[in-house]
A and B are shown apart, each in its own frame.
Chain A
Amino acid sequence: MSYTQHETPALAELCSFLVQDIYGELAARVYSILARYGRQNLNQLVRASYLNRRQISLGLVTLVQSHLVFHSSRVSPVTAYEIDWQQSYALVRFGKVVKSVEDRFGKNASAIVGNLLEHGHTRIGDLKNALFPPQNPSEDYGDEGTNGAGAKRKRANGTNANGADGKVNGIVNGATNGALEEEQGTGAPDKMYLKTVDEFYDAIHLLMQTGWVMKVDEMQYLSPGDYHQVALTQVLDERWNGQMPSGTKDKGNVKKDLCQRKRNIRDAWAEPPQFVKTKRNPNSGTYEQSNKRIKINGTHALPSSGGGDNFDNAEDRLPIRINRDKIAVAMRTDQLVRLAEQRLGTTTARIYEIMLREIESQVPRCFEEWPDPPPDPKSAEPPPPPPTYLVTTREVELRTKDFDICEGLDPQAVSKITGRSLDRNLKMEDPVDPADLGQYQRFELIHAHIDLLSRDPFRFVTWHSGSGHSEWQIEFGEIAQRHIQQEIENTVSARKPQFGLKLIRALKKKGKLDERQAGLTMMIPAAEIRGVVNDLAVQGFVQTQEVPKVERREAKHSIHLIWYDRQRAREKLLHDTYKGMIRIIQRIAFEREKVQAVLEKAERTDVRGNESRFLGRDELDMLNSWKDVEERLLLQLSREDDLVAILRDFHGALISS
Chain B
Amino acid sequence: MLRLDINKKFEPLRSCVGMHKKLHDHYNFQIIFEMATEPSASATPVKQENGVASAAGTASRFDQLYDKCATSPPGTVFFQRDLSALQVADTMEELLGLINGLCAQHLLKQLLFDNEPCWKLRDRREAEKLRTLTPDEHVLYQHIDQAQNEGVWSKALRAKTNFAQPTLTKCLKSLESKDLVQSIMSVKFPARKMYLLKYLTPSEDIAGGLWQNNGDFDMAMIDELSNAARQKIEELTCVRVPAKWNNYQRSERAAAIAHKKAHVLGLRDIEDGAPVRPYKLPVHGSSTRLVYKSNPTYPTATTMAAWLNGTDVLKGKVARDVDMEQLLEMMVLDGRLEKASAISYRTALNINDTKTLNGFVDAPCGTCPVFDLCADDGDISARTCVYFGEWLGTESEEIY
Contact = CB atoms under 8 A, between A and B. Distances in A.
Interface of A: 13, 103-109, 192-193, 199, 202-203, 206, 341-347, 350, 357-358, 360-361, 399, 401-404, 406-414, 416, 425-428, 431-433, 435-436, 448, 451-452, 455, 457, 487, 490-491, 493-495, 501-502, 505-506, 509, 516, 519-526, 573, 576-577, 579-580, 582-584, 586-587, 590-591, 594, 625, 629, 632-633, 636, 638-643
Given A491-B366, A501-B333, A412 B293 contact: yes
A347 B281 CA distance: 9
A580 B363 contact: yes
Contacts of A357: 274
Contacts of A494: 357, 361-362, 366-367
A344 B285 CA distance: 14
Contact of B350 (A206, A342, A526): A342
Contacts of A641: 359
A521 B330 contact: yes
Nearest to B249: A433
A491 B357 contact: yes
Contacts of B249: 431, 433
B57 interface: no
A196 to B, nearest CB: 12
Given A108-B270, A523-B211, A590-B383, A409 B275 contact: no
B125 interface: no
B257 A401 contact: yes
Given A345-B291, A407-B282, A431-B246, A579 B365 contact: yes
B351 A427 contact: no
A495 B367 contact: yes
A409 B385 CA distance: 46
Interface of B: 187, 190, 208, 211, 216-217, 219, 222, 239-242, 244-251, 253-254, 257-258, 261, 265-268, 270-271, 274-277, 279, 281-285, 289, 291-295, 326-327, 329-330, 332-335, 338-340, 349-352, 357-363, 365-367, 371, 374, 376, 381-383, 385, 388, 392, 394-395, 397
A30 B358 CA distance: 34
B330 A640 contact: no
A431 B239 contact: no
A524 to B, nearest CB: 6
Contacts of A580: 360, 363, 365-366
B151 to A, nearest CB: 18
Contact of B365 (A427, A521, A583): A583
A520 to B, nearest CB: 8
Contacts of A505: 332-334
A570 to B, nearest CB: 13
A415 B240 CA distance: 15
Given A426-B242, A639-B359, A640-B363, A524 B217 contact: yes
6 contacts: A402-B281, A408-B291, A410-B294, A436-B251, A591-B392, A636-B363
A412 B242 CA distance: 12
A501 B334 contact: yes
5 pairs of A and B residues whose beta carbons are closest in the complex: A639-B359, A413-B294, A431-B248, A586-B382, A435-B254
B270 A105 contact: yes
Contacts of B333: 501-502, 505-506, 509, 521-522
B275 to A, nearest CB: 6
Contact of A106 (B246, B268, B359, B362): B268
A399 B247 CA distance: 22
B142 to A, nearest CB: 32
A624 B172 CA distance: 77
Contacts of B383: 586-587, 590
Contact of A523 (B276, B281, B292, B326): B326
A105 B270 CA distance: 6
Given A410-B239, A583-B365, A642 B359 contact: yes
Contacts of A412: 239, 293-295
Contact of A487 (B258, B293, B358): B358
A40 B376 CA distance: 26
B398 to A, nearest CB: 13
B363 A584 contact: yes
A217 to B, nearest CB: 26
A50 B144 CA distance: 86
Contact of B282 (A104, A404, A455): A404
Contacts of B329: 521
Given A402-B254, A636-B362, A640-B359, A410 B351 contact: no
Given A344-B351, A435-B251, A203 B371 contact: no
A433 B249 CA distance: 7
Nearest to B357: A490
Contact of A407 (B261, B284, B339, B388): B284
Contacts of B367: 494-495
Contacts of B350: 342-343
Nearest to A179: B266
A205 B168 CA distance: 92
Contacts of B339: 457
Nearest to B331: A523
B248 A433 contact: yes
B247 A431 contact: yes
A490 B334 CA distance: 12
Contacts of B274: 104, 357-358, 360-361, 399
Given A410-B293, A495-B367, A633-B392, 6 more contacts: A346-B282, A413-B294, A416-B294, A501-B333, A520-B187, A580-B363
B363 A350 contact: no
> Taking each of B190, B241, B244, B261, which has the highest tally of chain A beta carbons within 10 Å of its own beta carbon?
B241
A426 B241 contact: yes
A103 B358 contact: no
Given A494-B367, A525-B217, A583-B374, A643 B242 contact: no
A579 B382 CA distance: 11
B270 A109 contact: yes
A426 B290 CA distance: 12
Contacts of A406: 246
Contacts of A583: 365, 374, 382, 385, 388
Contacts of B216: 525
Contact of A587 (B261, B283, B352, B385): B385
B237 to A, nearest CB: 10
Nearest to B216: A525
A451 B250 CA distance: 26
B257 A402 contact: yes
Given A107-B266, A491-B357, A491-B361, A403 B279 contact: yes
B330 A428 contact: no
Nearest to B267: A192
Contacts of B208: 520
Contact of B394 (A401, A577, A591): A591
A502 B222 CA distance: 15
Given A455-B340, A490-B358, A629-B392, A590 B397 contact: yes
Contacts of A435: 250-251, 253-254
Contacts of A403: 258, 279, 281-282
A583 to B, nearest CB: 5
A345 B359 CA distance: 20
Contacts of A408: 282, 285, 291
A487 B357 CA distance: 8
A342 to B, nearest CB: 6
Nearest to B264: A106
A592 B371 CA distance: 23
Contacts of A451: 294
Contacts of B281: 402-404
Contacts of B284: 404, 407
Nearest to A345: B351
A586 B251 CA distance: 53
A587 B271 CA distance: 43
A106 B270 contact: yes
A108 B265 CA distance: 11
Contacts of A425: 242, 245
